[in-house]
Structure formats: C-alpha cells, structure tokens
Amino acid sequence: MHRVLLLRRLYSSVPPSRRLSQSAAVAADRIDASVLPIMPPFDYTPPPYLGPRAAEIVRKRSEFLSPSISYLYKNPLNIVDGKMQYLFDEDGRRYLDAFGGIATVSCGHCHPDIVEAIINQTKRLQHPTVLYLNHAVADFAEALASKFPGDLKVVFFTNSGTEANELAMMIARVYTGCHDIISVRNAYHGNAAGSMGATAQSNWKFNVIQTGMHHALNPDQYRGIFGSAGEKYAKDVEEIIDFGTSGRVAGFISEAIQGVGGVMELAPGYLPAVYRTIKKAGGLFIADEVQAGFARTGSHFWGFEAHGVVPDIVTSAKGAGNGIPIGAVVTTPEIARVLTQRCYFNTFGGNPVCTAAGHAVLKVIEKENLQENALVVGSYLKDQLKALQDKHDIIGDVRGRGLMLGVELVTDRQQKTPAKTEILHAMETMKDMGVLVGKGGFYGNVFRITPPLCFSKEDADFFLDVMDIALSKI
C-alpha cells in the first residue's frame, strides 16, 4: 500500500505533459516507484483536444475502414499531437516516439522549418501538372541528386516507397529486356502486386506470387546457416540464375538493412558478391533505401554505402518528406532514357508541396547535423542495449546502425526460440511508462527502434531505463 501511495504522489506531482497514462499508473503498481523513470523535460504543451475519443474512433474504423488494419496495443492510442521526438494522446499525455522515424518522420514531428515550407508552398501553388515548370520540383531533384555517388543523378518522383519500387523494377525490365528479378527472403518492398511479390516473406501477409520473381537465401547473420560469411549466401543468387532463369536477369532488389524483416543488416561481403553476379547476368542492382536512407544509419547517408557498392537504381520514400507522401527513384541518365520508350506519367509524384517538404528535410538534416546525431546517439544506444543483453537472457541479439536498431527477444538463447508473446507484454509495459516502440522480424519478436533523428542521449537513457524495467517484468 505504501508503494501505491508513493506512486500516486509521484504521479500527481508531474505536469500533465510528462505524466504516465492512467493505465501506466496501474501497471506501475508492479514496479518499484523509487526507480520509475521520468521522461526528459520538454518545453511544449499541446492544445486541448476536443475531438472524438479513442473508443469512438475504434468503432468508426471497424465499420468503415479495412479489416486488415491492426493495432500495436490492446487499447489503441489516440494520438492527436506531435512535436519533434514526442507524441501526445487525447489526454495530453506525452510519449517518446522510438518507432515513428522509420514510418515517416526523419527530422521530428511537425518540425517548424518543414511545416513552414509546406505552408508557404501550399499558399502559392499546390498542384500544376509536370507538363508546366515549377522551381520547387527541380530544386529538390537537384538537391537530392547531389547526395548520391557516381552517375546517379536523374530523379523520378513518386508518391510512396511502394510506387518507387514498382517503377524501379519496371525500369530494370525495360532496360534489360528481361523479366526475371531476384529479391532476398525476409525483405519488404511494398504493398502493390509487384513489390509484394518481391517481398518474399513466406507465411506473411505480404507475399503475392508473381511470375519472374525469384527469392534468394537471406544473408541473416543471427539465424543464417553461414553466419556472417556474406559471400557464401551470395552463391544462392548464382544458382538461381544458373538453374532458375535463362541465364540473364533484369535485376536484383535489396535493402541494406531489412526494416520490417527485423532490422537485419546483411552479412558483410554479400552485396559486393551479388553485384558482380548480377552484372555478369546483364542485370541492374536496385537499392531499396526507403527505410535506411536519409542519414538514418549515421555512418552514411544511404545504407548501401556501408557495403562499398554503387547501385544502378536507388529508391527512397518515408522520411524523405517527414510525413508528407513522397518517394523517388534515382538512376543514371543512360538507364533513365529507357522510359522515353514508354508513356510514363505520374499525376501527383513530384508535386510542388511534397517536393518543397523534401527539400526542407535535406536542409534540416544538414543544418541540425542529424546524420552525426544518428551516429553518436545511435552508437551510444546500441552499446547500452548490448549491456542490457548481458543483464537479460531474453535478449538474443542487438543489431543495426545509427538510429535503425533491432533487439531480438528469445526464450532460449541456444535454440533462438522466438519470444513472440513476451515482446507483446514488454511493448504494453513500455507504452504504459511512456515509450512507443515497434516490432518486426519474421517471427514478430524483434523490437524495431527507429526514432526521429533528433533523438537525444537523454531520450536514449530514458528508453533504456524503461526497456530494462519492462524486460525485468516478463
């Protein structure tokens, strides 16, 4: 009883924007209040929310939206406000967003510079067809192209990562005259028919059978049969070409770090070996940077750069617009010319509002040194997560780069048995204490830690304290 009273006293003394949720106060009854983490201070209070409550929104969603939509938590959060690395629910309670960065937000929720760019452009012009000129589109294309190595300098704008990957695969097929494309098992490339076929997550909802699509052995350093020997995994691509195709392919598509697949960084040496094989077969390499791109890995602006390769086509989206729907395909002038043989047109891809947002994102990343922050804070967070691994047997693996990190939970380290139920309990406990984190991986047992790039060391410490407590309660 004394612990409950102490907890209530602590709860009532904290300003509303820093409080735990009511459900957290109940959940925290199982936690020693003297070690209950307090969120770092943040100088922002959202305006009062007067809209419908969570229960009413759930009712409407269940009646009018797709039944395939799922929720992260037993009691879904009604998020009504956001500022930088924090989100606020219908009662004004603040949550540290350790996941939304990969979803859309690279620079922080409602970043003032990006909001201003969107508003200013919206006031002037929202949507002329690309058959007219507008400087916002060309300016962002030039700025984006400057971030790429080699001859990657021609940009096609799309509305999403799915659309970008669909376009990239079509370009590869038109350019090579081949239909066969190889992707990596456990990957995720989108939600349209072609990109779902490339996704290759067997037994998952994303896989759709597509002709000409081949799935190579995943170079999984944690569960794979060859460990970190990337070139051994690459042999499977050779065999697919030798025995599964005519000897030629249109291309190979891969993430440098599998996001939905559980923040799985491809084994060293894999991509260079595959590139050589694909080139011999006349194909193009497509680097899917939808999740790892835009400085998220810290060490490099693009994930593929850490592997010492230069792709033929690069796709990006999500954080490119900091919440605004925009994607891009970047390739060489030679490859880009093949679309003059087809009637390709995109009504909204590259509209002035979205490109103004994208250009503002690049400026903010540079102005606020967010790539360096991703490296410094991400490296610190990864080191501390490894320390937690020494403390908690349920942590089987810690991996990733920068602010794209994964923590895989297992009930048996030797057998690597996925802790599928345990991770759900941990996520609920972390949410109750004010931290939102994602999950993924083939078995759904991997924490996906992908916050906005403005995530601070103080945020990392709070996150670590919360995860430590959550794992101790399993």
User: Could you tell me the residue ranges of all domains in the chain?
Assistant: 2-103+370-472, 112-367
Residue 342, pLDDT score: 75
Residue 3, pLDDT score: 35
Q: What is the DSSP string of 235-248?
A: HHHHHHHHHHSSS-
Query: pLDDT grade, residue 68 (50/70/90)?
Result: confident
Percentage of the chain exceeding pLDDT 70: 90
**Which is more confidently placed, 260 or 14?**
260
Task: Name the β-bridge partners of 184.
Answer: 216
Question: What is the rounded distance in angstroms from the CA atom of residue 258 to the CA atom of residue 451?
Answer: 16
Residue 103, token pair as written in the block = 């979803």
Residue 29, pLDDT score: 54
Closest by CA to 302, choosing from 378, 157, 402, is 402
Helix axes 230-244, 270-280, angle to 10 degrees: 20
Decide if 448 contacts 440 (C-beta within 8 A): yes
Q: What is the DSSP string of 244-294?
A: HSSS--SEEEEESEETTTTSEEPPTTHHHHHHHHHHHTT-EEEEE-TTTTT
Query: pLDDT grade, residue 7 (50/70/90)?
Result: very low
Question: What is the rounded distance in angstroms from the CA atom of residue 243 to the CA atom of residue 102?
Answer: 37
pLDDT, one tens digit per residue, over 180-235 is 999 999 999 988 778 877 776 544 445 667 788 899 999 999 999 999 999 999 99
End-to-end Cα separation, the chain, in angstroms: 23
CA distances from 399 to 196, 291, 306 (A): 25, 15, 15
Superfamily of domain 2-103+370-472: Aspartate Aminotransferase, domain 1 (3.90.1150.10)
pTM for the model: 0.91
**Going by C-beta distance under 8 Å and a sequence separation of 6 or more, which residues neighbour residue 441?**
261, 262, 264, 406, 408, 418
CATH topology of domain 112-367: Aspartate Aminotransferase; domain 2 (3.40.640)
pLDDT, one tens digit per residue, over 77-92 is 999 999 999 999 999 9
Phi, psi dihedral angles at 225 (to 5 degrees): -70, -20
Question: What is the rounded distance in angstroms from the CA atom of residue 219 to the CA atom of residue 260?
Answer: 15
DSSP conformation class of 312: S
Closest by CA to 361, choosing from 386, 326, 395, 391, is 326
Residue 102, pLDDT score: 67
Query: pLDDT grade, residue 17 (50/70/90)?
Result: very low
Judge whether residue 337 has pLDDT over 70: yes
* Pairing assessment for the beta strands 79-83 and 417-418 based on DSSP bridges: unpaired
Residue 103, pLDDT score: 64
pLDDT, one tens digit per residue, over 396-454 is 999 999 999 999 999 999 999 999 999 999 999 999 999 999 999 999 999 999 999 99
Question: What is the rounded distance in angstroms from the CA atom of residue 208 to the CA atom of residue 28?
Answer: 43
Residue 204, pLDDT score: 47
Query: pLDDT grade, residue 24 (50/70/90)?
Result: low
pLDDT, one tens digit per residue, over 351-407 is 999 999 999 999 999 999 999 999 999 999 999 999 999 999 999 999 999 999 999
Residue 456, pLDDT score: 97
Residue 436, pLDDT score: 97
Judge whether residue 143 has pLDDT over 80: yes
Question: What is the rounded distance in angstroms from the CA atom of residue 176 to the CA atom of residue 107?
Answer: 37
Residue 110, pLDDT score: 94
Residue 72, token pair as written in the block = 């992260």
> What is the average per-residue pLDDT within 316-326?
92
Residue 70, pLDDT score: 82
Query: pLDDT grade, residue 71 (50/70/90)?
Result: confident
Question: What is the rounded distance in angstroms from the CA atom of residue 256 to the CA atom of residue 444?
Answer: 20
Task: Name the β-bridge partners of 130.
Answer: none
Task: Name the β-bridge partners of 284.
Answer: 251
